[in-house]
């Protein structure tokens, strides 16, 4: 980084507005990392108490808000709210805001009570829509399909194999006590990606990174994991909202806004 400035711009006309919770595509209570070449074509990006670090050639079309922002060469954002911005000149104007960006009371982990029986879909098989229920560990094998009829589901953990799919036929809420893992090219969320606001995944884990996807994964849902890290794998397609203690967006991934919050 070649320059560090703290700016408070006051242009003429209407002042830009700090995003509210439902406006964020990516939001972390701590740090946010957007890796090289990633795109956020809609919605806001925010870090409540930490730093937003943007890699080279990152594009954020909407607002970016964080106490500290670090920009790499070639990065472009919409309106910037921050206390301090650093990076290569010329630096963008940094609009002032009052901490905290989002009321912490809105970011409390959701309690999840899993069931006692596993739900396993073997590789290269599929299911009819499964009605609401509680499970222990949900495992979807390579190339398999698990359909959820809609409603409320809980589980201790959720793992989706390579090219596996877990899709909600109708609006649903999935509560996970521990971890969610998607292998390469796995899919989680709405049966129709443009209805991402009809699916919510609440992750109750505290600490670490409990929601992790691998390269070229597809997620169309709101991921609400305020007590743990969210990692979106490189070159993936993500639609909804992604809320975590920390959030990392992999290189060349695309994250679009369609929040259920």
The number of angstroms, rounded, from the C-alpha of 205 to the middle of its chain's C-alpha atoms is 15
Q: Categorise residue 118: left if φ over 0, alpha if ψ from -120 to 50, beta otherwise.
A: beta
Burial 224-237 (b: 16+ CB within 10 A, else e): bbbbbbbbbbbbbb
The answer to whether residue 11 scores a pLDDT higher than 70 is: no
Residue 55 in contact with residue 73, Cβ under 8 Å? Answer: no
Q: Give 96: exposed, middle or buried? Use CB within 10 Å, 0-12, 13-18, 19+.
A: middle
Q: What is the mean pLDDT of residues 237-242?
A: 98
Q: Which pLDDT belongs to residue 5?
A: 43
Calculate ∠ Cα 206-115-105, nearest 5°. 35
Choose among 46, 35, 77, 65: nearest CA to 259: 46
Q: Which pLDDT belongs to residue 8?
A: 42
Choose among 251, 244, 212, 240: nearest CA to 228: 244
**Encoding tokens for residue 236?**
């993936």
Q: Which residues pair with 44 in a beta bridge?
A: 24
The answer to whether residue 13 scores a pLDDT higher than 90 is: no
User: What are the φ/ψ torsions at residue 176 (nearest 5 degrees)?
Assistant: -125, 125
Cut 0.85: pTM above it: yes
Domain boundaries, the chain: 1-7+18-106, 108-261
- Which residues have CB under 8 Å from 98's CB, separation 6+? none
Instruction: Tell me what the pLDDT averaged over the chain comes to.
Output: 94
Q: Which pLDDT belongs to residue 15?
A: 75
CA distances (Å), 23 to each of 42, 46, 92, 208, 242, in order?
Answer: 9, 10, 22, 26, 11
Percent of the chain clearing pLDDT 70 (strictly above): 95
Q: What is the mean pLDDT of residues 181-189?
A: 98
């Amino acid at each position: 980084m070649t320059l560090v400035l703290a700016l408070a711009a006051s242009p003429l006309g209407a002042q830009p507005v700090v995003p509210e919770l439902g406006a964020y595509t990516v939001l972390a209570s701590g740090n946010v990392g957007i890796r090289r070449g990633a795109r956020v074509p809609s919605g806001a990006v925010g870090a409540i108490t930490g730093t937003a670090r943007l890699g080279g050639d990152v594009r954020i079309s909407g607002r970016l808000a964080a106490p500290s922002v670090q920009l790499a060469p070639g990065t472009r954002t919409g309106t910037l709210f921050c206390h301090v911005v650093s990076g290569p000149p010329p630096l963008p104007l940094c609009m002032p805001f009052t901490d905290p960006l989002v009321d912490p009371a809105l970011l409390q982990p959701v309690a999840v009570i899993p069931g006692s029986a596993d739900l396993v879909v073997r590789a290269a098989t599929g299911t009819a829509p499964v009605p609401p229920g509680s499970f222990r560990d949900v495992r979807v094998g390579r190339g398999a399909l698990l359909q959820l009829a809609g409603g409320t589901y809980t589980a201790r953990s959720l793992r989706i194999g390579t090219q596996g799919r877990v899709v909600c036929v109708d609006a649903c809420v999935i509560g996970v006590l521990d971890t969610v893992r998607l292998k390469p090219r796995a899919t989680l969320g709405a049966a129709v990606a443009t209805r991402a606001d009809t699916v919510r995944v609440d992750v109750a884990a505290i600490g670490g990174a409990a929601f992790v996807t691998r390269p070229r994964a597809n997620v169309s849902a709101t991921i609400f994991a305020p007590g743990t890290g969210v990692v979106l794998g490189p070159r993936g397609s993500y639609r909804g909202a992604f809320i975590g203690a920390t959030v990392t967006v992999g290189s060349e991934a695309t994250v679009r806004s369609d929040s259920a919050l």
